Chains A and B, each alone.
Chain A
Amino acid sequence: MTERPELKQALGRLLGPSEPEVGCDECFAELDRYVELEVAGADADAALPGLRAHLEGCPACREEHESLRALVSGDQLL
Chain B
Amino acid sequence: MEVVPQSPGGRTLAATPLDPESRRWLRELRSEGETYDSAVARLHALLLRAARFEVARRRPSLPHLRGNELDDIALEAADDALVSVLARLDDFRGASRFTTWVYKFALLEAAVKLRRRAWQGREIPLEPETWSLFASGSTTPSEEAEQRELLAAVQDGIAHALTPHQRRVLVALALNGVPIDVLAERLGSTRGALYKVLHDARQKLRKHLAASGHALTALEEA
Contact = CB atoms under 8 A, between A and B. Distances in A.
B196 interface: yes
A59 B107 contact: no
Contacts of A8: 219-220, 222
B107 A67 contact: yes
Interface string B174-201: 1100011100000000011001101100
A42 interface: no
Interface string B106-147: 011001000100000000000000000110011100010011
Contact of B108 (A28, A30, A58): A28
A3 B139 contact: yes
B95 A32 contact: yes
Contacts of A13: 174-175
Interface size class for chain A?
35 or more
Contacts of B138: 4
B23 interface: no
Interface string A1-44: 11110111111111110100101111011111101100000000
Nearest to A16: B202
Interface stretch (B3-11, B30-38, B63-71, B72-80): B3-11
A48 B175 CA distance: 29
Contact of A71 (B50, B133, B180): B50
Given A14-B175, A15-B216, A60 B104 contact: no
B202 A32 contact: no
Interface string B148-160: 0000001000000
B59 interface: no
A5 B138 CA distance: 12
Contacts of B168: none
B154 A68 contact: no
Contact of B11 (A48, A59, A64): A48
Given A29-B9, A71-B107, A24 B95 contact: no
Contacts of B8: 29
Nearest to B199: A16
A2 to B, nearest CB: 6
Contacts of A36: 96-97, 100
Nearest to B102: A32
B104 A28 contact: yes
A57 B199 CA distance: 9
- B147, B196, B202, most chain A CB atoms within 10 A: B202
B111 A63 contact: yes
Interface in A56-76: 57-60, 63-64, 67-68, 70-72, 75
16 contacts: A7-B134, A8-B222, A14-B154, A14-B175, A15-B206, A24-B191, A30-B7, A30-B95, A36-B97, A48-B11, A59-B179, A59-B180, A64-B108, A67-B54, A68-B100, A68-B107
